[in-house]
Amino acid sequence: MLMNYSSATEFYLLGFPGSEELHHILFAIFFFFYLVTLMGNTVIIMIVCVDKRLQSPMYFFLGHLSALEILVTTIIVPVMLWGLLLPGMQTMSLSACVVQLFLYLAVGTTEFALLGAMAVDRYVAVCNPLRYNIIMNRHTCNFVVLVSWVFGFLFQIWPVYVMFQLTYCKSNVVNNFFCDRGQLLKLSCNNLFTLFTEFILFLMAVFVLFGSLIPTIVSYAYIISTILKIPSSSGRRKSFSTCASHVTCVVIGYGSYLFLYVKPKQIQAAGYNRVVSLMVSVVTPFLNPFIFTLRNDKVIEALRDGVKRCCQLFRN
C-alpha cells in the first residue's frame, strides 16, 4: 500500500473476500460458466457461418454479438480465476491494468452499438418486410458492424488515457477482481480533476447507453404497434418471437451497465461493484447462447442437424 504521493506503478486486486475453501468453490463455478460461455458462443458463430438457413442479417449480427461476448468474458474471467487460486492479493502492472480496462470498455461499447443496430434490423423485418432484403443488404450489414467495432474502440481511447493520467497515491489496492474504473477513481488523490473526470465519464456513459437505447425503444414502439395490428394471434406470436431473444438480451445488458456506469459519482460500494461486474462479465455472456437458441426454431434446427452430421462423421 502506498504511503507517499508517488503514483502507483502496479495495483493489487483484492478479489473476493472469504476463505480459501470458498475461493476454490467460486473458481469451480466461474470456470464452468467460462467454459460454457466459450463453447456456447463459439457454436453460435460456427453455425451462423456454416448453415445456409442462418444467412440473414439477424444471424450475422448475432454472430458478431457472440464474438463480443467471448471477448468480454475472456478479458476478465481468466485473470479472476487466477486470482482465486493465488493466496493473498493478485498483482497487476499499470500497463496490464490499462490494457484490461480499455478492452473491457471498448468491447462493451461495441456491444451496445450492435444491440442498437439489431433493434433497427428487427424494426425493418417486422414493419417493412417487403423491403427488408433491399434495406438490410450485405453491404449495409457489413458497414453497420464495421462502424460498431471502430466506434467502440475509438470512443474509449480518451477515457482510459485520462484515467491513467491521474495520480494514485491513496493506495494501490483495487477492491475488485479486475481493474474497475470506479475503484481506480477512489484511489486517486487529484480531487478536483477526479471530480471533473467523473462528470465527463458520466456524460460519455450516458451518450453510449442512451444513444443506443433510444433507437431500440423507438424501434420496439413501432414493432409493438405493428404486431398489435396483425389480426391473427398466431401471426402476432410469430412476429414477436423473432424479437423476444433480442429484447431479453437488451434488458439484461442495459440493466447491468446502467447500474454500473450511469451515475454522476462513479465511486461506490465495492460489494455493489463486484456483483454488477459479475453480471456483465460472467452471467450475461453465459446466458446469451441460451437466450438466442432456446427461443429460436431455426437455430435449434441448425444445431440438431450439426449434431447429426458430427455423429455421422464419428461413425464413419
What pLDDT shows up at residue 257? 66
What pLDDT shows up at residue 30? 94
> pLDDT per residue over 65-80, tens digit each?
999 999 999 999 999 9
What pLDDT shows up at residue 256? 67
What pLDDT shows up at residue 262? 53
pLDDT of 105 above 80 = yes
Q: Which strands form 90-93's sheet, in the order they lie side by side?
A: 90-93, 10-13, 173-174
Q: Among 45, 180, 218, which residue's Cα sits nearest to residue 104?
A: 180
Task: Give the global pTM.
Answer: 0.86
What pLDDT shows up at residue 72? 92
What pLDDT shows up at residue 249? 75
Q: What nine digits make up the cell of 7?
A: 503514483
Provide mean pLDDT across the span 171-196. 80
What pLDDT shows up at residue 4? 44
What pLDDT shows up at residue 268? 52
What pLDDT shows up at residue 294? 66
Higher pLDDT, 77 or 14: 77
- Distance (Å, whole) CA 1 – CA 280: 29
pLDDT of 2 above 50 = no
- pLDDT band of residue 107 (cuts 50, 70, 90) is very high
> pLDDT per residue over 20-31, tens digit each?
888 999 999 999
Provide mean pLDDT across the span 211-229. 87
What pLDDT shows up at residue 31? 95
> pLDDT per residue over 53-68, tens digit each?
788 888 899 899 999 9
Percent of residues, the chain, with pLDDT higher than 70 = 88
Going along the chain from its start, the domains and CATH numbers come out as 10-304 (1.20.1070.10)
> pLDDT per residue over 83-97, tens digit each?
888 877 788 888 888
